[in-house]
Amino acid sequence: MTQWTDPSTLDRMPLERGEADLDGAWRGALVLRVDPEGRIAAADGIPEPLAAPGRRRPSDILLGRARDHVWFARPVDRIVGESIGWRQAAAADQDVLASAVALGRWHGSAPACERCGAATMTHQAGASRRCTHCGELAFARTDPCIIIAITDPDDRLLLAHNVAWEASRVSIVAGFIEAGESAEQACFREAQEEVGITLDSVRYISSQPWPLPRSLMLGFVGRTVDSRITVDGDEIATGAFYTREELVAAVESDEVVLPQRASIARSLIEQWLSGR
């Protein structure tokens, strides 16, 4: 299983966000520059943090402690030179980079107070934003999504092709949880809406942060007693159930392309392939 089911490699230092402690944290800290697209400054394909230069800027965001360093994110308008996405980093760096991308993008996109519309300022070293007029505090939001590996009575796996994807790419069913809905209810609804499948049961497996834009993927497995598929045509173009042998052959012949290795979609597919 991938690293996101283990404890985070980032200690988020909840008790050290007070301003008095920050000057101490700043000394020897590393600063990641993040642009509005969630790209991180890099050199030779490796994240390139600045050693805490000069004075801390009010917009610098405390991420926490990882690999014997304190890390900050610094939102910048654009990165001059090479940059990488958080998923391209080594697994050991992905927790701190995912937080840098999630918080960096949120601070860049939440300049106004949701209550009164006045300007907000970085607060608690970036753990929140505070309204300059009414004092309202705002915290970064995470949008939960479900992603579900659906199998039929013959233990075949359902893979679907999204209309927005390149020709042969397939994955398992996924979608946002709607307001007032549980994660399990979203699984039943998405299966019905996207592929016309009535699920018999669902079971939670694990989750993965996905900070572009600001999602948390909640991974499930589910079973259906009826293998008939009716795709919605809007989001899903085609769908089919595969045996393990059929899927291995389809991948080897390039008939289908599976989700990238760092994704929870791929992890759930591999789990089914291995017979677990």
Residue with structure tokens 């107070």?
A: 113
Number of Cβ within 10 Å of residue 208's Cβ equals 21
d(CA 61, CA 104) in angstroms, rounded, equals: 8
Number of Cβ within 10 Å of residue 88's Cβ equals 16
Q: Report in angstroms how near the CB of residue 137 gets to Zn ion at its nearest.
A: 10
Which part of the chain contacts Zn ion (CB under 5 A), choosing from 2-10, 43-51, 134-142, 234-242? 134-142
Which part of the chain contacts Zn ion (CB under 5 A), choosing from 106-114, 146-154, 175-183, 245-253? 106-114
Q: Report in angstroms how near the CB of residue 117 gets to Zn ion at its nearest.
A: 7
Q: Report in angstroms how near the CB of residue 140 gets to Zn ion at its nearest.
A: 17
Asked if 123 is part of the footprint of Zn ion (rule: CB under 5 A), the reply reads no
Indicate which single residue of 131, 140, 229, 250 sits in contact with Zn ion (rule: CB under 5 A): 131
d(CA 141, CA 27) in angstroms, rounded, equals: 29
**How many of the chain's residues bind Zn ion (CB under 5 A)?**
8
C-beta of residue 72 within 8 angstroms of C-beta of residue 30:
yes
Residue with structure tokens 């009575």?
A: 153
d(CA 4, CA 145) in angstroms, rounded, equals: 16
Which part of the chain contacts Zn ion (CB under 5 A), choosing from 125-133, 154-162, 195-203, 266-274? 125-133
| Side chain identity at residue 40, one-letter code | I
User: What residues from 65 to 104 belong to the interface with Zn ion (CB under 5 A)?
Assistant: none
Enumerate binding residues for Zn ion (CB under 5 A): 113, 115-116, 118, 131, 133-134, 136
